Structure 1
Amino acid sequence: MIGKIIGAFVGDRIAKQTSGVGGATGAAVGVVAATVLRRMSLPAMLALGAGGYLAKRYFDRQSAQGETSTPPVASTVPRKTKTAKPAKVA
């Protein structure tokens, strides 16, 4: 029971820092994460932690390289604009 409360608290805190996830959704994710972690083996937890650390380093390095390189190319897809209907000629 205490684990679910702590998981809900941590999930709520994470939801406040993450866009697109509300407080109640974050609390539910925290409870589910606590349940999943409880059922995982120790090697799986270590692999998950190492994978998360490596992914964070990779994405941080990619964002650091992106700041010094050229800006991304704008989309080449034409925008849809409202066109006036042609006038009827009598």
Structure 2
Amino acid sequence: MIGKIIGAFVGDRLAKRTGGMSGAKGAALGVVGTAVLRRISLPAMAAIAAGGYAAKKLSEKNSGTRSGGAETTS
């Protein structure tokens, strides 16, 4: 019960910081997130974290090449 309350609180706070999400939706995602984390194994958590890190790096790499572009000098 306390884990659900903490998850809802953290989800609410994160939702308020990100755009396009209400506090209630964040709280619901926090409750669901704590339930999911309780049921998956440690190797699965590590794989999810590694995949998220790789996706973030790939996204940063792709956005950097599009916005920066190739500069030409005369």
Same fold (TM over 0.5): yes
CA distance in 2, matches of 1:51, 1:17: 23
> By how many angstroms is 1:18 displaced?
2.2
Three-state SS of the structure 2 residue aligned to 1:20 is coil
Provide structure 2 residue ranges, at least 5 long, that are not aligned to the other structure.
none
**Bigger RCO (CA 8 Å, 6+ sep):** 2
> By how many angstroms is 1:17 displaced?
2.5
> By how many angstroms is 1:20 displaced?
2.0
When the two chains are superposed, the root-mean-square deviation of aligned CA atoms in Å is 1.4
Range moving further from structure 2, 23-32 or 9-18 = 9-18
Range moving further from structure 2, 13-22 or 27-36 = 13-22
Aligned position for 2:6: 6
> By how many angstroms is 1:15 displaced?
0.8
Percent of aligned pairs with the same amino acid: 60
Cα deviation, 1:62-87, whole Å, max 9, x if unaligned, reads 111121128xxxxxxxxxxxxxxxxx
Three-state SS of the structure 1 residue aligned to 2:13 is helix
Provide structure 1 residue ranges, at least 5 long, that are not aligned to the other structure.
71-90
- Counterparts in 2 of 1:71-90, with a 5 A limit? none
* TM-score, with structure 2 as normaliser: 0.83
Aligned position for 1:31: 31
Aligned position for 1:56: 56
**Structure number with bigger Rg:** 1
CA distance in 2, matches of 1:50, 1:23: 28
CA distance in 2, matches of 1:55, 1:38: 24
Number of residue equivalences: 70
CA distance in 2, matches of 1:52, 1:18: 18
* TM-score, with structure 1 as normaliser: 0.70
Which of the pair is proportionally richer in helix? 2
